């Protein structure tokens, strides 16, 4: 932490700074982008290799359609339909078909946790919008329990989060939503959904390779 704070000063020797250097030049170099601390690289959760064989039994190539019970702007009941495909042990592909986030096609680096083999799985990920998602899939009961911590940008500008991440313009726009508000400026939404269909294969969902960047 101390090194990070003083890094701009420690780097000045690279620019031939000495006791005779004009103060104006020193100010310019300290404020220069060229010696600013680097940004933190993307940090993804990791799936424990010990559970991969169980993941292949329970979730590999599984596609889920599930509905959240919700209400529209007039208070009338409606369904928010989501679709998720377990493409890789490190990545999911999904689409949103109902609710304010409808029209969003995405893929995310994720981590899986096996809570009870053959019965309960948890999936966690961070979105490029700054939103954090965690869901638990109850296989025997066909239920999904979700906690989503929406970033301010994602929540307040939901329409800007529509599109397909495979389109560079959409991807860059979504990334911009993460820069709106602070870390505590969030909307926490917890919902339960009924799984209406479980099948194998990705259906109409687009494909991405496992190593693709998601943030």
pLDDT digits (tens, 9 = 90+) for 78-110: 999 999 999 999 999 999 999 999 999 999 999
In eight-state DSSP terms, residue 99 is: S
Facing residues of 82 across strands?
A: 66, 96
Q: Residue 184 sits in which domain range?
A: 49-200
64 plus 141 within the same structural domain:
yes
CB 79 within 8 A of CB 69: yes
pLDDT tier for residue 43 given thresholds of 50, 70 and 90:
confident
Q: Is residue 179 part of a domain?
A: yes
27 plus 59 within the same structural domain:
no
Q: Is residue 58 part of a domain?
A: yes
| Model pLDDT, residue 42 | 62
Torsion sign, CA atoms 111, 115, 117, 122: negative
Domain count, the chain: 2
In this structure, what token pair is assigned to residue 195?
């799984």
What whole-number distance in Å separates Cα of residue 58 and Cα of residue 62?
8
Q: Is residue 41 part of a domain?
A: no
Count CB neighbours of 21 within 10 A. 13
| Model pLDDT, residue 72 | 86
28 plus 70 within the same structural domain:
no
Q: Residues in the chain, how many?
A: 215
What whole-number distance in Å separates Cα of residue 156 and Cα of residue 182?
13
137's enclosing H/E stretch is strand 132-138
DSSP assignment of 155-185: HHTGGGG-EETTSHHHHHHHHHHTTSS-TT-
9 plus 82 within the same structural domain:
no
75 plus 157 within the same structural domain:
yes
Q: Is residue 43 part of a domain?
A: no
| Model pLDDT, residue 182 | 94
pLDDT tier for residue 26 given thresholds of 50, 70 and 90:
low
- List, as own/partner pairs, every contact residues 14-17 make where C-beta atoms lie below 8 angstroms and the sequence separation is at least 24, other chains included: none
Taking residues 61-84, report their average pLDDT.
95
| Model pLDDT, residue 23 | 54
Q: Is the pLDDT of residue 45 over 90?
A: no
20 plus 126 within the same structural domain:
no
Provide the CATH number for the domain around residue 140: 2.40.128.20
> Which carries the bigger pLDDT value, residue 80 or residue 4?
80
């Amino acid at each position: 932490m101390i090194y990070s704070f003083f890094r701009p000063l420690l780097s000045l020797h690279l620019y031939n700074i000495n006791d005779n250097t004009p103060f104006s030049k020193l100010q310019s170099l300290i404020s220069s982008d060229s010696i600013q601390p680097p940004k933190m690289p993307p940090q993804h959760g990791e799936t424990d290799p010990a559970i991969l064989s169980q993941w292949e039994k329970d979730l590999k190539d599984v596609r889920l359609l599930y509905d959240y019970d919700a209400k529209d702007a007039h208070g009338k009941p409606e369904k928010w339909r989501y679709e998720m495909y377990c493409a890789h042990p490190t990545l999911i592909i999904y689409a949103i078909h109902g609710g304010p986030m409808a029209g969003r096609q995405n893929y995310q680096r994720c981590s899986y946790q096996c809570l009870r083999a053959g019965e309960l799985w948890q999936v966690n990920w961070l979105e490029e919008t700054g939103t954090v998602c965690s869901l638990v899939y109850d296989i025997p009961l066909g239920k999904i329990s979700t906690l989503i911590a929406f970033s301010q940008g994602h929540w307040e500008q939901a329409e800007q989060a529509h599109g397909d991440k495979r389109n560079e313009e959409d991807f860059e726009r979504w990334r911009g939503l993460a820069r709106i508000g602070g870390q505590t400026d969030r909307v926490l939404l917890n919902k339960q959904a009924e799984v209406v269909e479980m099948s194998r294969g990705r259906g109409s969902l687009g494909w991405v390779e496992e190593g693709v960047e998601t943030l």
